[in-house]
Amino acid sequence: MHRKIVITLGTLLDTRDSPTVLIDRHYRIVAANKAYCEAYGVSPEGLIGKTCHEISHRSAVPCHQHGEQCPHQDVFQHDKASEVLHRHFDFDNRPDYVRIRAHPLHDESGERFLMESIHRLAPRVDLDVEAYRLAGKSPAFLSFFSQLASVARTGVTVWLHGEGGTGKELAARFIHAHSSRKLGPFVSFNCSEFPPEECESGLFDPARDVSGAQRSRPGAFELARGGTLYLDAFDALPLSLQGKLLRLLDNGTFKPPGSELAHTADVRLIVASQADLSQMMAEGSFRQDLYYRIAEFPVRVPALRERIDDIPLIVESMLNQIGRETGQMCRVGQSAIDALCAHPFPGNMRELRSLLLGAVTRCKDGMIGAADIDFGMSADGSRAARAKTAPRRRHAPAVDLETPLVATGDEAETIRALLKQYGSRRAVAKKLGVSVPTLYRKLKQLGIINLGLMAVSLMAAAHFQ
């Protein structure tokens, strides 16, 4: 006869190295292993019966209500495995970026449970460095961060491409800090700052400049020996140097200008560009062989307008940093957040920081409102100017926000009517029973967020509620 073997659930979960938890359909934790308890600083007794979002997100509502993809829904609605990227909070309440793998489990009676294992994308240490630039919970950011964490562990050449001001150098520094070369130097060199002759010397010459005189410091490859060399504005690298760089990448050595001696290039290369190098290659302004050599791992750095969900978090972190630098600690009101979330940000992070610096000097009583943000220097300044001159509304309409409304019929028309009635996206989100970021995505999907003057006037009106 076969003996029936019964293994306790806790023992089984403890065989897994990664934090693992078992959750029921009501988001309640049924069991967790030791690694999960240690990751979130809660005893096993303190976990059972608590909701998963309460422990990992420090939130009273499920993560999908904050706009995140929730593995709980995939498991319990579709009975299928799921893998998502999330921003959790560790036992010290620090951001913790993780990959979640979820699987459905069934007991003898057929009741379904969710087994969730959590895999950290990068060590918690160093994630606080310039946190406002490498922080977020939007799908665009989490996908980008996952790529950075993955490529950091390899030694391949990385091509970072994205608009100006998105934080490409910070991404390169993150890759270096989480690589095997982290104890070596990180050297940044901008290819657009020099004419071809000086660019060659600045990259390759270990001792002398183009005139033969002693240089005050060696070239970039010499300085980066044993570490990482970051070449910014790589699309500006002269064609005459592209072949030399290709030979260096292929052979691991380079010859300084005017020298017959080869030098070993013990560096990891990360390049960055705003231009699309594949298009430049097609046009003949970039070498095809070099393109395929440096594009081993392309990483697109998302623009700020693709990360609307992250703007409140970034603004808060950025204001904290500005406060430390200037001694002026300010908070931001919802009207200001609404205005910033509707702005296209052609200058990305740099533009946001500039706008907040100006707002800090204008605001009164340490609270930044929409009227304190001057978009006049931005590409979309005409819209912002109209918003600033919108008439003040002395009395806000009575809003019954305690009774959520489910949109029926034409969803777009329902939301437009609510925006017109209440003048505040936060109020409309509460009325619909969704989070503000979820509402923003719905506005974009329905084309409402691009209604020009109407959207701007609503932002201005929200400031006076």
CATH superfamily of 9-120: PAS domain (3.30.450.20)
Q: Residue 327 burial by CB count (10 A; 0-12/13-18/19+): exposed, middle or buried?
A: exposed
Amino acid at residue number 411: E
| Three-state SS at 208 | strand
Digit-by-digit pLDDT tens for the chain (465 residues) are 566 665 567 677 878 888 899 999 999 998 888 888 888 888 888 888 889 888 888 888 888 776 677 888 888 888 888 888 888 877 767 777 888 888 888 888 888 998 999 887 766 544 444 445 677 888 899 889 989 988 998 889 999 999 999 999 999 999 998 899 999 999 999 998 888 778 888 888 755 444 555 555 678 988 899 999 999 999 999 888 898 899 888 887 766 655 555 566 789 999 999 999 999 999 888 999 999 999 889 999 999 999 998 999 899 888 988 888 888 889 999 999 999 999 999 999 989 999 999 999 888 888 999 999 998 755 444 344 333 333 333 333 333 444 444 444 567 777 877 776 665 666 677 677 666 666 766 776 776 654 332 333 333 333 333
Residues paired with 273 in a beta bridge: 161
| Three-state SS at 118 | strand
pLDDT (0 to 100) of residue 95: 72
Instruction: For the domain covering 139-300, report its CATH number.
Output: 3.40.50.300
What token pair was written down for 311?
Answer: 């703007």
Long-range pairs, 260-263, Cβ under 8 A, ≥24? 263/206, 263/221, 263/222
Q: Residue with structure tokens 């071809």?
A: 196
What is the H or E stretch that residue 72 is in? Answer: helix 71-78
CB-based contact 356:318 (threshold 8 Å): yes
pLDDT (0 to 100) of residue 457: 33
Angstrom distances, CA of residue 130 to CA of 137, 185, 314, 359:
16, 19, 10, 20
Phi-psi region of 423 (alpha: psi -120 to 50; beta: other; left: phi over 0): left
CB-based contact 358:374 (threshold 8 Å): yes
Where do the structural domains in the chain lie, given as residue ranges? 9-120, 139-300, 308-462
Sign of CA dihedral 77, 78, 82, 84: negative
What token pair was written down for 93?
Answer: 């309440």
Q: How far apart are CA 281 and CA 287, in angstroms?
A: 6
